[in-house]
Amino acid sequence: MRSVVLFGSFYALLALPHALAVKSQDFKTCSQSGFCRRGRALAARAQEAQSSWKSPYTVDPSSIVISSDDSTVKAAVKSSLYPEIKFGLELRIHDDGVVRVLLDEVDGLKKRYDEAASWALVSEPKLSKGIRWAAGKKELRAVFGEKNDIEVAVDYDPLRVRLRRGGEDQIVLNGRGLLHMEHFRSQTLKETIEEVASDENAEGQEVLQVENVRAWFEGDSEDAYWEEKFSSWTDSKPKGPESLSLDITFPNHGTVYGIPQHATNLSLPSTTGDSPSYTDPFRLYNADVFEYLASSPMSLYGSIPVMHAHSADTTVGLFNAVGSETWIDISYPTKKSTHTHWISESGIMDVFLLPGPTPEEVFAQYARLTGTTALPAHWSLGYHQCRWNYVSSDDVRTVQRRFDEEDMPVDVFWLDIEYAQDHKYFIWDHKTFPDPVEMTNDVAAAGRKMVVIVDPHLKRTSDYPVYQEASDLDILVKPKSGEGEYEGWCWTGSSSWIDHFNPASWDWWISKFKTTQNDTGFSWTESTEDIHIWNDMNEPSIFNGPEITMPKDSIHHGGWEHRDVHNINGMLFHNNTAQAVRLRSDIPKRPFVLTRSFFAGSQRVGAMWTGDNLGTWDHMAVGVKMVLANGIAGMAFAGSDVGGFFGNPEPEMLVRWYQVGIFSPFFRAHAHIDTKRREPFLLDEPYKSIVRDILRLRYAMLPIWYTAFRENSVTGMPIVRPHYVVFPQDTAGFAIDDQFFVGSSGILVKPVTEKDKTEATVYIAEDQVYYDYFTQYAYRGSSKGKHITVAAELHQVPVFIRGGSIIPTRERPRRSSPLMKLDPFTLRVALSKTGTARGDLYLDDGITYSHQQGEFVWREFVAEQSQKKTTRISSRDLASHNPGKAVDGIALTTFDPKNAFAKEIEEVRVEKIVVLGLNSKPRSVNVEGGAELKWEFVPGVAASDKKEGVSSVLIIKDPKVLITTDWAIVIS
């Protein structure tokens, strides 16, 4: 109130300057990256040569060896360019039909990095035994799969790997002959001379080599083989060229998704071919991109080299397990086919072909490889209030008090870097936070938590025990010499980084988070189990490093260069922190650790957010797409900063952003230190009340979100699902990325992300009734797809219930989610055209791992027309029927519906049932075998009608049926 009244005029002045933009000169384009340049030049030569182009790589058929269990095939590969160099190809077929294709140099001068997959995979995949391989003259084939409908073919000359289904190629490796694994070589004297002779132009050594027989393929110059300069940095490249170029073609899929993280459309735009959308390839190189663009193929904070190729017929997936910098060109030669070209700086080729054939199965196949998001702490699905920075413990208390005074729910208060003295993480600045434990306890008293930042850069000062211990243990990343400690610049000034690739760092790091005294060194005694962690800057972000990150020639454990592991780096820090938080208590509790950087597999560890976005409408809009894209690649627990990190959003924008936020799996508001405070209680009316209602809607819907997380944790299905996932055959919906479904609940959301909107257009893909969540207006889609226009004034967010869904909510506003534990439920039964509906509900204690011991409640609600004109709504246990698929982490064999958790909530009842779309006023409504219930009926449009309009609504008052028991209510 104070600031709004006093300084209201500043809002206009401080609105985001138009000049804000990424410093693109800080980051490489493909043409500034030697191996990308070489990779694209190779593709250009192939393009030019057209049909005369032939890959120099061939399989030696005589070398084929099939493993004794028939799961694996190995063969020698040669390149005609370098006949003396040996390559080894290996194919493994997993028991779910996934084909893993590996290619490595054999007996090379050095070893290529081959551990990327081992970090990404959740466990060693099970191989499919008894595959029948047929080695022919030209190719090696195998047919497999449950229905024997998947086929893998390896063509010998040139080398080509094809995954086929129904006689059609699904995924083709090296179909365009762009495969090139640069072998290790010695820097010859001649090359050294060239190096010197080429004066300062290190990037373009255009010294003519007259008799280069390989020039048709490799080009005429040794472009940036041994050293590469960018801006003021020099990459010493001691191993020389070792890049990998690989073309992957989807001849029958015209749409590709995935390879997050990029600020772009879900359906990936082209980067090559005719009039490409972007001129540079998509880049995967985890980077702290300051004020990133809202539409760009540039790298961002995380990298998941997973791509889904989709058509109305099938969906296939691809996981390229590479941890080094990777550029991906995409083009669409026809509407129904996709060319991709993957150029990685180092590492073996380790590609997993996911046969699908549905989006659901691709998610399951990828989940079996890299795991799913562990069921998060329930409170972490509530609202997170963050700012850089809440400046003191009293500030935190005041913010909490203001939320309570305004009766706005919130679960978590966050502390950014300024809590730490000189940014020495864990070490409270006692001038401003004299009583961190008491402060945390004050927050926890209302069932809330705190999240406190711990970044990976350690201040290099001997009075910082965390640094000193790491230094003494010799577990810090080393500079290119391989000796001593790499030193870079970050918040902390001169800093070093823990090498989480070094197993010696793991237990040590875990011990830092103990809240009790450690025998062996520092532990965070000034913390409590109500403090969870935020890992930022883990790309790693290094202010004085090339591209704001670590020099590629820095040395990790095992002598690997940073270039080999860069994209994996952030995940290990995140993982070790999450382990630490899990293990700090005697009874392990689910950790919440937010990360900015991530890789394939990070989803197992926790949540991510889309980094330092801008308070602009286009960033709000692209945030929705990015969260969807992350979900496609398994990183389900995702969100964007509500309000935008930079800038001062006007109230309208903030309201819309909260509407986006409550429909993100991870829901946090955050703001830069230079911005005005913008906690929702500071808003003027009507904005304040609108946001209060928005927050309460999130809390009311927590059962839906938690149930969606359960499903994700078991199946890998995304929490927020774009259209194509739900309607894979609806071509018109393939590119839709501004509306989505929440889990399997049937909730469809189209957030408004534009200014001055009063209406929204929503696409309905099927011939089904969709009810407006708030007005109960029944809209009707069409099997051909149909756009409907709905009101979307500022206080309205377009939310629909798909006909055929039962939505469980908890409608009593509370201060925080743990205080809702014993609140009753409301069920919204949205009848389908045929008068049926279903939904499920999953509950557990939300904190411990007792759900893995069977302590949970998983119910299914079904509405069906049992006899003519009778609708029966029933509740039944789902877990007993399917204990093995109830929760992630353990396959239960039995389930006791009267487990300890169920007993804890046994008094929790359904307080209201709302039935939408009944044909006519019921004659009676009663609990099956029981007395007549109290109810009201408002006539309206029936689900089975053809017309649109406010649906009929039956409200059953307090049926007093319990959540944990079976029951049925009959509407006659």
Partner 1 sequence: MLWLLLLPLPLPALGAVEKTLGIAPHLVSKYVPSRSNTWTCLDGLKEIPWDYVNDDSCDCADGSDEPGTGACPNQSFYCQNEGHIGSFIPSSRVRDGLCEPNCCDGSDERPGVCNNVCQEVGQAYKTKAAEETKIRKTQGSKIRSTYITYAHKEKKRLEEVIETSAAQITTQEKEVARLRDIAERAESLSAAALEMKQQSPLYTSLITHSNALKSLQREHKKHLQREKELSNILDALRSGYNPNYQDMAVLEAVRGWEEIAGLPHINDVGKDSVSDEEAGVEEDTVPDVAQTKEEVEDEMWSAEELENDLDDLLNSDYISLLLEHDEYVQSPPEGSVLFDIASYLPDAIVPQYEEFKETILSLLVSFGIIKSEISSSTGTSLDTSRSRQVLTDAENELNKVKKEKENAENDLKEIFNIHGYGLEGEWKKLDGTCLRTENGDYTYEVCLFGEAKQIPNKGGSTFSLGKFASWDPSPDVKPGEEAYYQKQIYNRGARCWNGPERNVVLLLSCGTENTLNSVVELEKCEYQFTGTTPALCRPLDSFEGRNGKKSQAGKDEL
**Positions that interact with partner 1 (CB under 8 A):** 1-3, 5-7, 10, 13-14, 23, 26, 288, 290, 391-392, 394-395, 407, 431-432, 445-447, 489-491, 493-494, 543, 548, 673-677, 696, 811-815, 819-822, 824, 907, 909, 911-912, 927-931, 957-958, 960-962, 965, 967
Contact 122, 376 (CB under 8 A): no
Min dist. Cβ of residue 958 to partner 1 (A) = 4
**Cα atoms in the Cβ-side hemisphere of radius 13 Å centred on 839:** 29
- Ordered strands of the 449-453 beta sheet: 638-639, 607-609, 593-595, 531-535, 449-453, 412-415, 384-385, 668-669, 641-642
Contact 477, 499 (CB under 8 A): yes
C-beta of 114 vs 395, nearer to partner 1: 395
**Chain centroid offset of residue 383 CA:** 19
- In terms of Cβ atoms closer than 10 Å to its own Cβ (0-12, 13-18, 19+), residue 641 is buried
C-beta of 133 vs 861, nearer to partner 1: 861
In whole angstroms, give the CA distance from residue 309 to residue 322: 19
Min dist. Cβ of residue 647 to partner 1 (A) = 13
In whole angstroms, give the CA distance from residue 860 to residue 885: 14
Neighbours of 133 (CB within 10 A): 20
Min dist. Cβ of residue 915 to partner 1 (A) = 16
Opening angle at CA 479, ends 475 and 485, nearest 5: 40
C-beta of 497 vs 800, nearer to partner 1: 497
Phi (first) and psi of residue 152, to 5 degrees: -120, 135
Min dist. Cβ of residue 17 to partner 1 (A) = 10
- In terms of Cβ atoms closer than 10 Å to its own Cβ (0-12, 13-18, 19+), residue 732 is middle
Closest CA to 852 of 882, 818, 896, 886: 886
In whole angstroms, give the CA distance from residue 271 to residue 277: 6
- Pick the catalytic residue from 155, 350, 361, 612: 612
Contact 206, 175 (CB under 8 A): no
Name the strand (E) or helix (H) holding 856.
Answer: strand 856-865
C-beta of 147 vs 431, nearer to partner 1: 431
Give strand pairing partners of 780.
769
Min dist. Cβ of residue 757 to partner 1 (A) = 27
- In terms of Cβ atoms closer than 10 Å to its own Cβ (0-12, 13-18, 19+), residue 148 is exposed
In whole angstroms, give the CA distance from residue 88 to residue 850: 46
Closest CA to 325 of 544, 174, 120, 551: 551
Tokens of 638: 């995702």
C-beta of 499 vs 612, nearer to partner 1: 612
Min dist. Cβ of residue 46 to partner 1 (A) = 38
Min dist. Cβ of residue 925 to partner 1 (A) = 15
Closest CA to 130 of 74, 61, 63, 68: 68
In whole angstroms, give the CA distance from residue 498 to residue 594: 18
Task: Report the sign of the C-alpha dihedral through residues 721, 724, 729, 733, in that order.
Answer: positive
- Pick the catalytic residue from 169, 539, 553, 737: 539
Min dist. Cβ of residue 613 to partner 1 (A) = 14
In whole angstroms, give the CA distance from residue 894 to residue 880: 7
C-beta of 300 vs 633, nearer to partner 1: 300
Q: What is the DSSP string of 546-561?
A: GGGS--TT-B-GGG-B
C-beta of 677 vs 869, nearer to partner 1: 677
Min dist. Cβ of residue 394 to partner 1 (A) = 7
C-beta of 53 vs 543, nearer to partner 1: 543
Min dist. Cβ of residue 235 to partner 1 (A) = 18
Min dist. Cβ of residue 870 to partner 1 (A) = 16
Q: Reduced to 3 states, what is the DSSP secondary structure of residue 377?
A: coil
Contact 952, 918 (CB under 8 A): yes
Q: Is 612 one of the annotated active-site residues of the chain?
A: yes
First-to-last C-alpha distance (Å) of the chain: 54
C-beta of 328 vs 970, nearer to partner 1: 970
Cα 427 to Cα 419, 424, 500, 923: the distances in Å are: 8, 6, 21, 68
Contact 716, 363 (CB under 8 A): yes
C-beta of 10 vs 755, nearer to partner 1: 10
Q: What is the largest CA-CA distance in the chain?
A: 97
C-beta of 53 vs 290, nearer to partner 1: 290
Min dist. Cβ of residue 494 to partner 1 (A) = 7
Contact 872, 961 (CB under 8 A): no
Closest CA to 552 of 345, 347, 280: 345
- Pick the catalytic residue from 536, 711, 766, 877: 536
Q: 371 in the Ramachandran plot: left (φ > 0), alpha (ψ -120 to 50) or beta?
A: left
Min dist. Cβ of residue 227 to partner 1 (A) = 22
C-beta of 1 vs 504, nearer to partner 1: 1
C-beta of 525 vs 544, nearer to partner 1: 544
Opening angle at CA 19, ends 13 and 23, nearest 5: 140
Residues marked as catalytic: 536, 539, 612
